[in-house]
């Protein structure tokens, strides 16, 4: 995420990493043998091309296509750490220099108890090449904590909650909280086991407290709804994304009038792991 403060205008653009959760029994204990067993470790990786990189309904790619990729190390099926990156395109107003990319470093745990699972972790946002010439402006690299509890309602359906919190949102001195509810329904195709369908959606709200220097972006709602097709390592996803911000309110949140409006976003992604290539 990047925030530009100046002339009462702020740019908020958030990035988040999404990675498929792994399951583990909470009662499992890592034995000394498992520590030395190569099968206890795995590396997942993937790439994606999107028609528009959005998070919480706000574009980070100026409503243009973006390329993304990640590499993640997994241990014992429930400990993980990785790096995720995306191309971005930010306005150059108020002394902002468009960074070369967004790079997110993250780590956490994904334990499972029956049908209930929890993904809890840490995420650091880094914007290489970002600089400021506006007086008093600072770099916007910062960190967030996250917790995502999820419950499987059936073999093909789940509901999850998302909690994201930072005490220093985009290095502004302002604390931030984002809460959302999400759901996904998988639709298997018995005649073609490698083919799958799904529908999913999310509805959330972001709150940001006013900082000591007066930085005070508007709290807002965001939502998305869509579906996709999976075939082996490939996923094709199409979804509708929007916020409740008006064009004038969007200027204070994104730095542009049209960055928070509705959009239909398409994505094609390829995800796999070393264990699947053996």
What pLDDT is stored for residue 185 in this prediction?
A: 98
pTM of the model: 0.85
Give the integer Cα–Cα distance in Å for 199 and 237.
9
For residue 26, the model assigns a pLDDT of 44
What does the pLDDT read at residue 39? Answer: 78
Structure tokens at 102: 């967004």
CATH number of 33-277: 1.20.1300.10, 3.50.50.60, 2.40.160.40, 2.30.30.280? 2.40.160.40
At residue 123, the pLDDT reads: 99
Nearest alpha-carbon partner for 258 in 131, 125, 91, 93: 91
Contacts of 237 (CB under 8 A, 6+ apart): 226, 227, 228, 266, 267, 268, 269
**7 Ramachandran zone, left/alpha/beta (phi>0; psi -120 to 50):** left
* Longest Cα–Cα distance in the chain: 63
Predicted confidence (pLDDT) at residue 6 exceeds the cutoff of 90 = no
The burial of 180, by beta-carbon neighbours within 10 Å (0-12 exposed, 13-18 middle, 19 or more buried), is given as buried
- The string of pLDDT tens digits covering residues 81-95 is 999 999 999 877 655
Q: Give domain limits for the chain.
A: 33-277
pLDDT of residue 4: 41
pLDDT score of 134 more than 70: no
State the burial class of residue 94 (Cβ atoms within 10 Å of its Cβ: 0-12, 13-18, 19+): middle
Q: What would the mean pLDDT of 22-51 be, rounded to a whole number? A: 73
Task: For the beta carbon of residue 25, count every other beta carbon within 10 angstroms.
Answer: 12
Q: How far apart are CA 177 and CA 36, in angstroms?
A: 40
List, for residues 190-217, the tens digit of each pLDDT value.
999 999 999 999 999 999 998 767 778 8
């Amino acid at each position: 995420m990047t925030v530009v403060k100046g002339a009462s205008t702020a740019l908020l653009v958030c990035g988040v990493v999404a990675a498929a959760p792994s399951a583990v029994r909470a009662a499992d204990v890592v034995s000394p043998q498992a520590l030395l067993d190569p099968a206890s470790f795995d590396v997942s990786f993937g790439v994606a091309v999107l028609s528009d990189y959005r998070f919480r309904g706000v574009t980070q790619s100026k409503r243009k296509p973006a390329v993304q990729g990640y590499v993640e190390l997994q241990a014992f099926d429930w400990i993980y750490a990785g790096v995720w990156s995306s191309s971005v395109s930010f306005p150059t107003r108020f002394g902002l220099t468009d960074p070369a990319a967004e790079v997110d470093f993250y780590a956490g745990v994904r334990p499972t108890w029956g049908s209930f699972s929890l993904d809890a972790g840490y995420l650091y946002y880094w914007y290489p090449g970002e600089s400021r010439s506006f007086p008093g402006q600072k770099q916007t690299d910062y960190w967030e904590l996250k917790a995502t509890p999820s419950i499987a309602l059936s073999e093909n359906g789940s509901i999850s909650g998302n909690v994201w919190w930072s005490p220093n949102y985009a290095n502004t001195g302002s604390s931030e909280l984002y809460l959302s509810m999400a759901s996904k329904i998988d639709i298997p195709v018995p005649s073609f086991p490698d083919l799958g369908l799904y529908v999913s959606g999310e509805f959330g709200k972001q709150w940001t407290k006013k900082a000591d220097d007066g930085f005070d972006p508007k709290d807002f709602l965001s939502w998305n709804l869509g579906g996709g097709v999976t075939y082996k390592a490939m996923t094709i996803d199409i979804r509708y994304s929007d916020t409740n911000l008006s064009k004038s309110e969007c200027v204070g949140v994104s730095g542009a009038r049209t960055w928070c409006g509705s959009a239909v976003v398409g994505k094609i992604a390829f995800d796999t792991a070393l264990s699947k290539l053996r």
